Amino acid sequence: MRVISPERGHVLIVATAHDPLGANAGPMPVHRSRLMTAWPGRLADGAAWEIDFRRVPHWLVVGATRSGKSNFLAALITQLAPQPVALVGVDLKGGMELSMFEPRLSALAITRTEASSLLSALLCEADIRMQRCRAAGARSVWELPEKGRPVPIVVLIDEIAELYLSDGTRESKAEATECSAALLRLGQLGAALGIHLVVAAQRFGSELGPGVTALRAQLGGRICHRVHDGTSAEMALGDLSPDAVSVVQAITETEQGVAVVTVGGRWVRARSTVIRPDRAREMAREHADRTPRLAVLSHPHSTDSDRHE
């Protein structure tokens, strides 16, 4: 039995014989396939949870430690791996979460210096794509003829706070500022250029550094797992869906992977499919030969227009 207030002035009482988000719900059988769409789990009404990057290009994933952020990323990667999509990882916690997927990743940065050069390579790629669109009179890569269309890129960043940490030295500060500026630029330009961001964080507020609020404004899709306090929930959802802030605070510690998803002010509860590490490794190996090679990542200054394999 759930008593929630989906909007001010309304109380919704939902009684279900079987909780679609319960621990024994099992994976969602999804046999569909659509480019840049993933079905990472299920919704509270039992339907498949759909994430369509063409509709909502960038996502912010928030949650306390062990609330289910990395599992969500894994569920997303598992869904995108069979598609003609380049997956790029940034995992500054030693690569512990994303390295399982390495055979299927077009790049993986595990130090901030690597992340910084990866992000600037992606900015080069954005520039190249922008020129191509301009030359073809297209407003986005999706308007380019399918044959010459660059492969979509999804940039997955686990624990983004590590990108902004500074040990106080000038170099470290400069690197953090660079990363933050590059991310913001990718957020602003990426949607039209087929470059998408999925950013996971425990908290996502201005204490991380300047530019965070501006980046958050670009991340129109929000997924908020259990959080420690109201301010974290507020930072994740408050600007887009104020009514969801109290809903997310009702998620308990035993409901790992349960999250409130909001898009355009509407919210819904969802839970990702559990991805065990051995399954993740196996899946990444299985789809390794689909990994697009992005020339801009191996030769950062390449402008060869035929660089995608």
Ligand X SMILES: Nc1ncnc2c1ncn2[C@@H]1O[C@H](COP(=O)(O)OP(=O)(O)O)[C@@H](O)[C@H]1O
Q: How far apart are CA 30 and CA 40, in angstroms?
A: 10
Residue 203 or 307: the one with the smaller Cβ distance to Mg ion is 203
Q: Which token pair is 191?
A: 């949607």
- 68 lies in the binding site for ligand X (CB under 6 A): yes
- Choose which of 67, 106, 180, 291 interacts with ligand X (CB under 6 A): 67
Which residues in 189-228 are b (16+ Cβ under 10 Å) and which e?
A: bbbbbbbbbbbbbbbbeeebbebbeebbebbbbbbbbbbe
Residue 67 near which of ligand X, Mg ion, none (CB within 5-8 Å, type-dependent): ligand X
* 8: CB partners within 8 A, 6+ apart: 243
Quick note: the x/- pattern for ligand X over 209-248, rule CB under 6 A, is ----------------------------------------
- 67 lies in the binding site for Mg ion (CB under 5 A): no
- Choose which of 70, 241, 256, 272 interacts with Mg ion (CB under 5 A): 70
Beta strands 195-201 and 48-52, pairing class: unpaired
**Total of residues contacting Mg ion (CB under 5 A):** 2
- 63 lies in the binding site for ligand X (CB under 6 A): yes
Range in contact with ligand X (rule: CB under 6 A) among 42-50, 59-67, 143-151, 228-236: 59-67
Residue 68 or 211: the one with the smaller Cβ distance to ligand X is 68
∠ CA 266-191-241, nearest 5°, is 20
Residue 116 near which of ligand X, Mg ion, none (CB within 5-8 Å, type-dependent): none
Q: How many Cα atoms sit within 13 Å of 45 on the Cβ side?
A: 5
Q: Which residue is nearest to ligand X (CB)?
A: 257
Residue 96 or 217: the one with the smaller Cβ distance to ligand X is 96
Q: Which token pair is 176?
A: 């953090």
Residue 63 near which of Mg ion, ligand X, none (CB within 5-8 Å, type-dependent): ligand X
- 232 lies in the binding site for Mg ion (CB under 5 A): no
Q: How far apart are CA 82 and CA 37, in angstroms?
A: 11
Place of tokens 């020129």: 131
User: Which among 57, 56, 74 has a CA at the least distance from the CA of 266?
Assistant: 56
Least distance in Å: CB of 272 to ligand X? 4
Binding site for ligand X (CB under 6 A): 63, 65-71, 256-257, 271-272, 274
